[in-house]
Amino acid sequence: MSAMEAQQLHTVGEVAALARVTVRTLHHYDRIGLLVPSGRSQNGYRLYAYGDLERLRQIRLLRELRFSLDAIGQMLDAPAYDRRSALEAQRELLRERQERTDSIIRGVDRALRAMEQETEMDRTEMFEGLEEFDHAQYQDEAERRWGHSDEYRESMRRTRRYGKGDWARIKAEGEGVVARLAELMAEGAQAAGRAAMDLAEEHRCHIDRWFYPCSHGMHRNLAEMYTADPRFEEYFEKRARGLAVFVQDAIRANEARWRNRS
């Protein structure tokens, strides 16, 4: 009896029920090579082993953390992928999200109590859980440093048009790139490796698309602030210890890659 025959195998319908996904989803994952079942029955039906279920659980976790299917495939198939380190990093990201959600729920509960009691909310608690990186906090400093530049004026021109929906999308996109960089670092990937450099390029394009034309040289200069300025450093270090340096090194490597191609 082969090792495959000795272990319990599951049909696609059973796996769909276990994982609470549709059969169509599993078929799609198979077609794109994200989750190819380990075996087939004599009739050609898909059969999933325990290792396939483990991979599916990782896929579901990473989807919950808003990673694209393409990014998930690259992570899971990377030679340096460390499942334990990845799970620990995912746990931290989920814990951070849970803490933020709990904080928002507390704020909603206070708002409901204030409505029921026909009173006003405590102004110091009204926005608990809704904190974000405060661009306005640094606007005066930015104007002093770069107010004479075309990039600063372009950034002001663009951001004046943005509404709440735009800012929510900008935040989600930016946080997504940083989260994937944190995942790579947790997996033991090199900051100068292709995956990290590709994410650094995505980070540059995010700035270029939403704020101002950001050349590779400008991006590298911006990255120098990630460790030189404690406020920027804290932004990254809250997400993962050592992330500020990792992101900075990835951006440096990406800029060098671009120079070598020129």
Per-residue pLDDT of the chain (262 residues; tens, 9 = 90+): 355 555 689 999 999 999 988 999 999 999 999 999 999 988 989 999 999 999 999 898 888 776 778 778 877 887 666 667 767 766 776 777 777 777 777 777 777 777 787 777 665 555 555 554 444 444 444 444 554 566 667 777 888 788 777 787 888 888 889 999 998 898 888 999 999 999 999 999 998 888 888 889 888 988 888 888 787 888 888 888 899 999 999 999 999 999 888 6
**Contact, 236 vs 247, CB < 8 A?**
yes
| Closest-CA residue to 182 (of 103, 94, 253, 54) | 94
Q: Is residue 72 a contact partner of residue 86, using CB atoms and an 8 Å limit?
A: no
* Count of alpha carbons within 13 angstroms of residue 243, beta-carbon side: 22
Contact 46/30 with Cβ under 8 angstroms? Answer: yes
pLDDT of residue 234: 84
Portions of the chain given CATH number 1.10.490.50: 133-261
Q: What was the pLDDT predicted at 68?
A: 73
Q: How far apart are CA 226 and CA 222, in angstroms?
A: 7
Q: What is the pLDDT of residue 200?
A: 95
Helical axes 23-31 vs 12-19, angle rounded to 10°: 110
Would you say 186 and 240 are in contact if contact means Cβ atoms under 8 Å apart? yes
Question: In 126-242, where does DSSP find H-type helix?
Answer: 139-146, 150-159, 164-186, 194-210, 216-228, 230-237
Which option is the CATH number for 133-261: 2.60.40.10, 3.20.20.70, 1.10.490.50, 3.90.420.10? 1.10.490.50
As a whole number of angstroms, the distance between CA 244 and CA 262 comes to 27
- pLDDT, residue 152, reads 61
Q: CATH classification of 3-64, choosing from 3.40.630.30, 3.40.50.2000, 1.10.1660.10, 3.20.20.70?
A: 1.10.1660.10
Answer whether 128's CB lies under 8 Å from 100's CB. no
Task: List 46's β-bridge partners, or say none.
Answer: 40
pTM of the model: 0.49
The gap from C-alpha 149 to its chain's centroid, in whole angstroms, comes to: 31
What pLDDT sits at residue 123?
Answer: 59
What is the location of CATH 1.10.1660.10 in the chain? 3-64
